[in-house]
Structure 1
């Protein structure tokens, strides 16, 4: 199970180097921002907690002074004093007198608001020991009622609450203190903290910080994508060059610019390409020279064996020389047949396979093919040679060959089935090996070298295809070529 989860997680990751590096950079920036924000928020909360504690004591001291002032007045003077405060344009505390405490929709989140209110309440309780009931809480102005009749603070005249509601576009929390002066006589005080927006100082995610970090992340991502793409583009060019060289196609020139590591790699690749090409050319020249040079002494030795008087000895010499001749020819054929330099293109199967069937019929072989209207992406000459090797192999060992082509799973399959004896199941894995010929093959085709199947599979795989050979359920051998489908159908 852990291996499956790991494989599933790896499949979710970007497959390209550009995607992986960009993802890693973005993840690193996001992680650094999260860690930095967490550290900043922790320090900011601690600082805000200290500042709010000091501010709570200051507000509690002022509120205690106001409460003592109202306690010193007769109850019938309270409304008169409050009305005078309002006509003067308001004071730091907005005050009302109610028969019972007003229900306050207190702010419970973040934790700083209830903790600061508790400090104010504790300070007032200590400062006003003769007061029985004291309550303090923070509320938002749009949800705040100022008396027991349900009047909201925002419904009051602006000059009454100008010191309490600084801005309607960005409201600040209001501290409400309610003190029971005597039974059924509650003093309602509303005010702002010295720092009205003290709750924002410890908040981790604010609109301004989100905007700043979003812009930072966008710039980092843009620069990362440009830098990573600029750094990985030469690698893509090198990969295309290596793929083309491996397939025998023209290799695009590698740029002699970029990072120091890429320039070294490109130069090493160019040197390797030149050495490998030189090895291939030397090998071709070597085998051609060996074939040419060995034919003359082999023929001369054959002529000399005719002068031997002993028939048994002459026969043994002939057999050794024939075996040597076959080895030389097979090695040369293996080198020459595997070197087909041509580009892949769209090949129509009906003309190709139909002509091969007709040519076989002219040679008095039985070959059947039904038109399929399919096309494949292949090298024309290589495809013809591969199919020709399979067709010759089927005609040698079978009475006739049936050819058919059909589409399967987005690709095209070409089947060649002969009606011969087939091969043992244990021998299927070695049919493609060089110079391997089964017993019945040597009896029916004594001139072969055992290279046709191996060359055919090499040619098919060079065209991004595959060749599979198996015994047919109705008898005979069935060779199946699978190739990419062409661009269109007839």
Structure 2
């Protein structure tokens, strides 16, 4: 099972999970401590209550033993007719079968305390049975008679505590051969249930309510604090593609205000740097055009045609370098607004200019969801790469791999490829491997710079079967 899939990634989710874990652990530790202390007090109280009841049982046994045999049943009948006592008492000819309740620490403590007191108070009795039974399975008088079979006036008010129906304590003592004294009673509150509950339903509801309340306040507080942090993260993510963003509002904790203020200052410096760079190149373009033109006019005044050709050639190279530098700045310009870009449509429009009677650009059939980016810049990037592939490899194949995180575009051809020692150099300005006079050697560098500006990357490698493979990676952003 992939646990990373379920692991929270956002600050709010992690804070809530850690808060929930801390509350759970704190409640568990507090509950265990409380349970240990309260259970010790309950056992001590149960032992004392059971000993007191055992003492009353011993007094009852002594009282009935003091009566003549013929009067014992008469006294019992009078007690039952009056509504009974705290105990249900009967004389039986045999030991009544008792269906015991499940063993527990509370039951063991009560049974042990009652037996010890009865053996101490009634040392002449050898057989003493102590057990607990449920009211619905309690046998009385005989083994085939249940408590529910008796008249309600006999034992209902003594042994029933509806709707709780707690277990009933049954003590049977063999007074003589074929003569058993049967005593049934309820333990006094709060020891009626004998259940070893660590936590009650009411306590569970209380803990859930407290936890939910704490999580609600934690969520409200964290959401309020992380909102400016998320806005700062989104702005930092978008900064790579749009330097001209509005300034962020400085709010939140003091650390967030400081970070937001620093981000705004950084964005202003970057914006001034980009503007100064554009002004610089515009000035260079304007200032160099005049002397180049002046030098061309002066070259025409020379009498030597060979020198004129040399001057013009040097001036052409100088003008090409100026135009190349300006093209580099222009082609990596990021003043476009971010928008949904249909990459498939871009590739189709580029391929149409190359596909005539012969198919030169083979596009993928897969549907490509739009990506967030600068449409003109991405078109420039793809155009440079596809045109290079068609020019030097005759045919170009394109494949895509799409995921939630990124869009990967593979472009390969069957051309001569690039020597391994020149792999890094092709991205440098004015580096050309071809011997023709077309181009300035800026296309690969511009394409990679555009991808870097979108937060992506570009790699190249030679294929084993020949040709160059270019891999473009574009991250998927949301706006």
**Is the shorter-chain TM-score for this pair beyond 0.5, marking a shared fold?**
yes
Report the CA distance between 1:108 and its aligned residue.
Answer: 3.9
CA distance 1:312–1:79, change in 2 (3 Å): farther
Structure-2 residue corresponding to 1:192? 186
Structure-1 residue corresponding to 2:380? 385
CA distance 1:483–1:283, change in 2 (3 Å): closer
1:58 aligns with 2:49: no
Report the CA distance between 1:267 and its aligned residue.
Answer: 2.2
Report the CA distance between 1:95 and its aligned residue.
Answer: 0.8
| Structure 1: distance between partners of 2:183 and 2:240 | 86
Equivalent residue in structure 2 for 1:457, among 435, 443, 448: 448
| Structure 2: distance between partners of 1:412 and 1:259 | 37
Give per-residue Cα distances to partners, 1:377-407, cap 9 Å, x unaligned.
3533123211222244345544x3x345555
Report the CA distance between 1:194 and its aligned residue.
Answer: 2.7
Checking the alignment, whether the CA contact within 8 Å between 1:344 and 1:463 is kept in structure 2 is no
| Structure 1: distance between partners of 2:116 and 2:40 | 20
Structure-2 residue corresponding to 1:167? 161
CA distance 1:478–1:43, change in 2 (3 Å): closer
Structure-2 residue corresponding to 1:37? 31
Structure-2 residue corresponding to 1:421? 416
Q: Which moved more, 1:367-376 or 1:224-233?
A: 367-376
Checking the alignment, whether the CA contact within 8 Å between 2:400 and 2:410 is kept in structure 1 is no
Structure-2 residue corresponding to 1:469? 460
Structure-2 residue corresponding to 1:26? 20
Helix, strand or coil: the match of 2:214?
helix
1:217 aligns with 2:211: yes
Q: Which moved more, 1:252-261 or 1:56-65?
A: 252-261
The 5 Å alignment of 1:186-265 reads: 186-197=180-191, 199=193, 203-248=197-242, 251=245, 254-265=248-259
| Structure 2: distance between partners of 1:99 and 1:249 | 102
Report the CA distance between 1:139 and its aligned residue.
Answer: 2.5
Structure-2 residue corresponding to 1:432? 427
CA distance 1:346–1:312, change in 2 (3 Å): closer
User: What stretches of structure 2 of length at least 5 have no aligned partner?
Assistant: none
Report the CA distance between 1:318 and its aligned residue.
Answer: 9.0
Equivalent residue in structure 1 for 2:107, among 94, 109, 113: 113
Helix, strand or coil: the match of 2:36?
helix
The 5 Å alignment of 1:262-281 reads: 262-281=256-275
Normalising by structure 2, report the TM-score. 0.83
Report the CA distance between 1:165 and its aligned residue.
Answer: 3.1
Structure-1 residue corresponding to 2:146? 152
Checking the alignment, whether the CA contact within 8 Å between 2:243 and 2:267 is kept in structure 1 is no
Checking the alignment, whether the CA contact within 8 Å between 2:402 and 2:408 is kept in structure 1 is no
Helix, strand or coil: the match of 2:21?
helix
Equivalent residue in structure 2 for 1:444, among 433, 436, 443: 436
Normalising by structure 1, report the TM-score. 0.82
Q: Which moved more, 1:131-140 or 1:117-126?
A: 131-140
Report the CA distance between 1:63 and its aligned residue.
Answer: 0.5
How many residue pairs end up in the alignment?
A: 470
Give per-residue Cα distances to partners, 1:166-188, cap 9 Å, x unaligned.
42211223221111110111111
Checking the alignment, whether the CA contact within 8 Å between 2:16 and 2:218 is kept in structure 1 is yes
Helix, strand or coil: the match of 1:91?
coil
| Structure 1: distance between partners of 2:466 and 2:443 | 21
Structure-2 residue corresponding to 1:347? 342
Give per-residue Cα distances to partners, 1:151-174, cap 9 Å, x unaligned.
222443333224533422112232
Report the CA distance between 1:315 and its aligned residue.
Answer: 11
Checking the alignment, whether the CA contact within 8 Å between 1:98 and 1:148 is kept in structure 2 is yes
1:336 aligns with 2:330: yes
Helix, strand or coil: the match of 2:131?
strand
| Structure 1: distance between partners of 2:28 and 2:216 | 20
CA distance 1:199–1:253, change in 2 (3 Å): farther
CA distance 1:136–1:372, change in 2 (3 Å): closer
| Structure 1: distance between partners of 2:187 and 2:421 | 92
Checking the alignment, whether the CA contact within 8 Å between 1:466 and 1:483 is kept in structure 2 is yes
Helix, strand or coil: the match of 2:152?
coil
Structure-2 residue corresponding to 1:488? none
Give per-residue Cα distances to partners, 1:92-132, cap 9 Å, x unaligned.
11012222322223334430111111111111101111111
CA distance 1:183–1:306, change in 2 (3 Å): farther
| Structure 2: distance between partners of 1:302 and 1:255 | 55
Helix, strand or coil: the match of 1:161?
helix
Checking the alignment, whether the CA contact within 8 Å between 1:108 and 1:114 is kept in structure 2 is no
